Amino acid sequence: MERSSSDEMKGWRLPFFSIWTGQAFSLVGSRLVQFALVWWLTETTGSATVLAMATMVAILPGVILGPFAGTLVDRWNRRVVMIVADGFVALVTAWLAYLYWTGAATVWHVYAAMVAQALGGAFHWPAMQASTSLMVPKKHLARVAGLNQTMQGALSIVAPPLGALLLSLLPLQGIMAIDLVTAALAIVPLFFVAIPQPEQVAGQAQKSSVWSDFRSGLRYVSGWPGLMIILAMAMVINFVVNPAFSLMPLLVTEHFRGGAPQLGWLESAWGGGMLVGGLLLGLWGGFRRRIYTTMMGLVLAGLSIMVLGLVPGNAFSLALAAMLVAGLMNPLINGPLFAILQGTVAPEMQGRVFTLVQSLATAMMPLSLAVAGPVSDAVGVQPWYLFGGAIFALVGVITFFVPAVRQIEDGRPRIEASQLAPRTAEVALARD
């Protein structure tokens, strides 16, 4: 369906924020469980390999299955997808709570739970993102994205100390119970709020296959030069920047001669920057052409990361300032970019496009860590911050001179069903 006009979307705030608020509570519960499980793995095993494996099992399902999950989200009722995904993750959490209650939990149980939660997220995230574009007027998408980034920043500040406090007061199964309550808060509004469904192009009565829809999504992305460049940009940035944050404990101990408190201060500075940046984006909305906000954020974030590679060991306060600025830029990069995609990508394609971007960008993490680890062992940690920050900023500068990126908000011509899936086409879907 075409994007609804503002007149047609009057009264959008109550239904959208009813769902958004429930999802926010659920995210708090998920973060607490994540913190508790990582701490339990740390205390139980003391193994870096175990922690690295936990990261891998939490990432790989989304990387491998994400694009196919997005294809299915585009075919299915998105409200039902979110209900089932949230319910599935809640059942997994209940199973894990039972194992901790009986004292039977092992590392492998935690791995299995992380895989299951990642599978649920692979379906839930694109369903929520794609639904947002049909529930929120286009002119407010950047502000909603800013609100999402504000929430992420607040969680980065609050979740670790809150998780630590709850661990001192409750057994692990008690924290799991909190997550079950927050999951219920996310699921209940979905039963009462109608979510618009995209209208697929009418054609033959027979539905296309999942594989045909998947290929249609690839053709849609590959036929849009601006979107292809943004996808490549996201992959490059994730490759060069993710190791910098993964190696931050070494930067603290080896360069600043600090410990856990200093690492905590750096992480809080990042979270505080995200909180401020999200509020700024929510109030301001970014430049009129939103891609310029993203480009500006790329340059300033890259320069801030370079500062971390240049600052002397006795200037920790300067490192905190650099992390604060980098965190502030994060919402100004991601918020407008997602708002652009939500406003320009065809609604019936959004599940596929969002998961393709997310999967390919996330796939860079294990690859970059495999390279950055040996390189940092050989030359030290700081050169990676210089390298990663320089590439980050350079990408922002280069995109200013690429017309396909500057004009990404103009969208692309809608492709007919015969071009996307030559043999078959979907029957139009009505609202919930």
Highest mean pLDDT among 136-140, 231-235, 248-252: 231-235
Question: Cα 275 from chain centroid?
Answer: 16
**Measured between alpha carbons, how far is 299 from 131 in angstroms, rounded to an integer?**
31
Looking at the predicted structure, is the pLDDT value of residue 422 above 70? no
Indicate the pLDDT class of residue 412, thresholds 50, 70 and 90.
low
Highest mean pLDDT among 94-98, 267-271, 404-408: 94-98
Look at 67-81, 123-137, 202-216, 243-257 and tell me which has the smallest mean pLDDT: 202-216
Question: Cα 182 from chain centroid?
Answer: 20
Q: What is the pLDDT of residue 47?
A: 65
What residues have CB less than 8 Å from 297, skipping those under 6 apart?
329, 330, 332, 333, 396
CB 236 within 8 Å of CB 361: no
Q: Supply the Cα-derived Rg of the chain in whole angstroms.
A: 22
Give the model confidence (pLDDT) of 174-207 as tens digits.
999 999 999 999 999 999 988 887 765 434 334 5
Run of H or E residues at 396: helix 382-399
Q: In 3-state terms, what secondary structure has residue 200?
A: coil
Give the model confidence (pLDDT) of 336-379 as tens digits.
888 888 788 877 788 778 777 777 777 787 777 777 777 777 77
- The domains located in the chain, with CATH, are 7-420 (1.20.1250.20)
Q: What is the pLDDT of residue 2?
A: 43
Tell me which long-range contacts 153-156 makes (C-beta under 8 A, separation of at least 24): 153/271, 153/272, 153/273, 153/274, 153/275, 153/276, 153/277, 153/278, 153/327, 153/331, 154/271, 154/275, 155/27, 155/28, 155/31, 155/271, 156/267, 156/268, 156/270, 156/271, 156/274, 156/275
**Measured between alpha carbons, how far is 403 from 394 in angstroms, rounded to an integer?**
16
Give the model confidence (pLDDT) of 289-332 as tens digits.
889 999 999 999 999 999 998 999 899 999 999 999 999 999 89
Q: What is the pLDDT of residue 210?
A: 65
